[in-house]
Amino acid sequence: MCAIEVTPVIATERLILRGPVPADVDPIAKLAGDLNVAGQTVSMPHPYSDADAQAHVDRAMRLDWAREAAFAIEHRNFGVVGMVGFKPAPTGRPELGYWIGRPYWNRGYATEAVRGALKWVKRDWRKRLVVAGHFADNPASGQVLCKAGFLYTGEVALKPSKARGRAVPTRMMVWLA
Ligand SMILES: CC(C)(COP(=O)(O)OP(=O)(O)OC[C@H]1O[C@@H](n2cnc3c(N)ncnc32)[C@H](O)[C@@H]1OP(=O)(O)O)[C@@H](O)C(=O)NCCC(=O)NCCS
């Protein structure tokens, strides 16, 4: 018997969120190579090589979707514009992470993708609580999270930024389904 694994697909007005595939390596490497992108995340290195993108996609294609989720954000006209996903935080709660390539900033794509992903979290993934944090010097991300329904917990944690090579004050937030 053979089992066919089907990863979830989320359609929003302008975007398709779907499991990453090998063809995503090139656009991810190009867009994630910008320090303005990687430097606002905990885990993306800088410089961000083709091998980093390859390893990221390989890992995303082998995810245990009961614990984690990773979606490429594909614009219906422009192709891959970023990524969004959920990983277990140290507390075990799902933690949201996302990025949009710089050429596509300020068009509402992050907000649209996060809102779409949260609908899936509630309806299909059946999780009731998601945590997130944004570096204190990244108000645009705070704006995205507020618009998607996250609230500030008041906690400011020091989180490492791989690309910056140091810890950065991070404003923690929570979303309830
Ligand atoms: C943060 C990020 C995801 C936003 O993506 P985006 O597609 O541009 O986001 P949206 O267009 O949906 O929303 C951006 C909001 O931030 C606001 N904004 C942009 N720059 C801002 C700034 N310097 N200060 C305050 N708000 C700002 C925009 O006005 C918009 O809000 P509005 O719709 O209420 O006007 C994108 O900049 C990014 O990927 N950055 C690098 C990686 C990252 O930060 N990931 C998140 C880690 S927590």
Q: Taking the domains of the chain in order of start, what are their residue ranges?
A: 9-126
Q: How confident is the model at residue 6 (pLDDT cuts 50, 70, 90)?
A: confident
Whether the predicted model's global pTM rises above the 0.95 cut: yes
CB of 14 sitting under 6 A from ligand 1? no
5, pLDDT greater than 90: no
Whole-number Å distance, alpha carbon 161 to ligand 1 midpoint, is 18
Of 105, 150, 156, the residue with max ligand 1 atoms within 8 A of its CB, to mutate for a pocket test, comes to 105
Ligand 1 atom nearest 145 alpha carbon: 48
Q: What is the mean pLDDT of the chain?
A: 96
Whole-number Å distance, alpha carbon 3 to ligand 1 midpoint, is 40
Q: How confident is the model at residue 3 (pLDDT cuts 50, 70, 90)?
A: low
Q: Provide CATH code, domain 9-126.
A: 3.40.630.30
Nearest to 19 by CA among 67, 79, 62: 62
